């Protein structure tokens, strides 16, 4: 039933998420642009080509695991990696690992479910990010990346030659301007997708009752885990809400596997992230990404339930 309080809740959530994501997005894209100003594209390409593919995917997943950002905030970094010539498979391993294995997620897992569950979670999701990145590249999906044009701050622009005795600001200001141009240009292209994603997520956050979610994914439902994984995507479960939501669902009797599927689905392929990815990925690759995250969520959920039954 529609109530004004639901609308207020959704509106507050939308404003909070939209403002937060706008500042995060601009800040992160600026930092990525600044890195590109200091690290030439060719140097990054030479380094990435020297690393064996399997090792490169491990490095990509590890880098993702060290970035304390939500799923939406990884997109600017992903674009910077792709634009710098990092192999597609390595970028995909980073994209999958970042929202699932970042330090905030791991800390919340430790707080909510303890060391044993956290270790199992890491052992499942980290290799999955490595293997999936390799597999997606092997299947030829690299050609499904759109050509995103940047205005200002291009890494292939001629480098301004500065003498060693040039003043600090003489060396720094051009790079800051280049990074700012990169951030503003990219933000202008992504902004509509960001608002659409935040709006859909806010509507579901305000109007989808927890009782409905619990009923659909309760322990009596044999399809609880796949349903929970599917519900997790539109819920857009931010790391700040994982502890209270997870605690409530566990108290109401949802299985640990369903909770894991819900968290992995929501953190790994939220609607805001998918709408942002739609700006840089073609439809086929977006679909493959979402299906992959859902499969990981479902398999991990069933495995968690199995391990619980056998007493691991």
> How far is the C-alpha of 263 from the C-alpha of 237, rounded, in Å?
7
CB 234 within 8 A of CB 203: no
Cα→Cα distances 227→4, 172, 188, 230, 236, Å? 28, 51, 35, 5, 15
CB 204 within 8 A of CB 59: no
Cα→Cα distances 210→168, 197, 246, 248, 259, Å? 55, 21, 11, 9, 13
The CA-to-CA distance between both ends of the chain, in Å, stands at 43
Residues 111-144 as b/e (b if ≥16 CB within 10 A, e otherwise) read: ebbeeebbebbbebbbebbbebbbebbeeebbeb
Predicted TM-score (pTM) of this structure:
0.67
Predicted pLDDT at 122: 92
- pLDDT tens across the length of the chain (312 residues): 557 777 887 788 788 777 876 777 777 778 767 876 776 655 655 666 677 778 889 988 888 887 655 566 678 788 878 877 788 999 999 999 988 887 767 776 777 677 888 899 999 999 999 999 999 999 999 998 886 654 444 444 444 444 545 576 777 888 888 888 877 877 777 677 677 767 776 776 677 666 766 666 666 677 889 988 888 777 665 555 565 566 666 766 678 888 888 888 888 887 777 888 888 899 999 999 999 999 999 999 999 888 877 776
> How far is the C-alpha of 280 from the C-alpha of 269, rounded, in Å?
15
> How far is the C-alpha of 312 from the C-alpha of 298, rounded, in Å?
19
Token couple for 246: 């997870």
Predicted pLDDT at 152: 42
Predicted pLDDT at 240: 55
| pLDDT one-digit tens code per residue, 86-110 | 889 999 999 999 888 877 677 767 7
Predicted pLDDT at 284: 93
What own/partner pairs with CB < 8 Å and gap ≥ 24 does 110-118 have? Answer: 111/243, 112/242, 112/243, 112/246, 112/247, 113/246, 113/256, 116/312, 117/256, 117/304
> Pick from 262, 213, 215, 218: which is nearest to 242 by CA?
262
Predicted pLDDT at 104: 66
Residue 208 CB neighbours (<10 A):
14
CB 220 within 8 A of CB 185: no
Predicted pLDDT at 49: 61
Predicted pLDDT at 244: 56
Predicted pLDDT at 296: 92
Token couple for 80: 């910077």
Residue 73 CB neighbours (<10 A):
22
């Amino acid at each position: 039933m529609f109530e004004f309080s639901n609308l207020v809740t959704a509106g507050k959530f939308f404003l909070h998420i939209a403002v937060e994501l706008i500042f995060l997005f601009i800040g992160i894209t600026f930092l990525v642009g600044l890195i590109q100003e200091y690290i030439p594209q060719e140097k990054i390409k030479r380094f990435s080509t020297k690393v064996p593919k399997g090792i490169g995917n491990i490095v990509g997943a590890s880098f993702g695991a060290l970035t304390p950002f939500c799923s939406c905030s990884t997109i600017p970094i992903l674009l910077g990696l792709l634009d710098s010539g990092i192999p597609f498979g390595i970028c995909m391993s980073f994209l999958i690992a970042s929202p699932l294995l970042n330090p905030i997620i791991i800390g919340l897992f430790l707080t909510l479910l303890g060391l044993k569950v956290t270790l199992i979670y890491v052992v499942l999701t980290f290799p999955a990010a490595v293997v999936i990145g390799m597999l997606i590249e092997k299947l030829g999906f690299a050609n499904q990346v759109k050509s995103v044009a940047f205005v200002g701050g291009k890494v292939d622009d001629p480098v301004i030659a500065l003498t060693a005795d040039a003043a600090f600001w003489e060396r720094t200001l051009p790079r800051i301007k280049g990074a700012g141009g990169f951030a503003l240009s990219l933000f202008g292209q992504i902004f509509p997708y960001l608002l659409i994603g935040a709006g859909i997520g806010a509507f579901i956050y305000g109007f989808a009752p927890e009782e409905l979610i619990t009923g659909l994914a309760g322990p009596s439902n044999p399809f609880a885990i796949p349903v929970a994984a599917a519900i997790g995507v539109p819920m857009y479960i931010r790391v700040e809400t994982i502890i209270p939501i997870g605690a409530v669902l566990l108290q109401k009797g949802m299985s640990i596997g369903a909770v894991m599927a819900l968290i992995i689905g929501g953190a790994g392929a939220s609607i805001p992230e998918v709408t942002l990815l739609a700006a840089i990925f073609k439809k086929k690759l977006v679909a493959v990404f979402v299906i992959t995250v859902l499969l990981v969520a479902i398999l991990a959920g069933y495995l968690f339930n199995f391990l619980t039954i056998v007493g691991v």
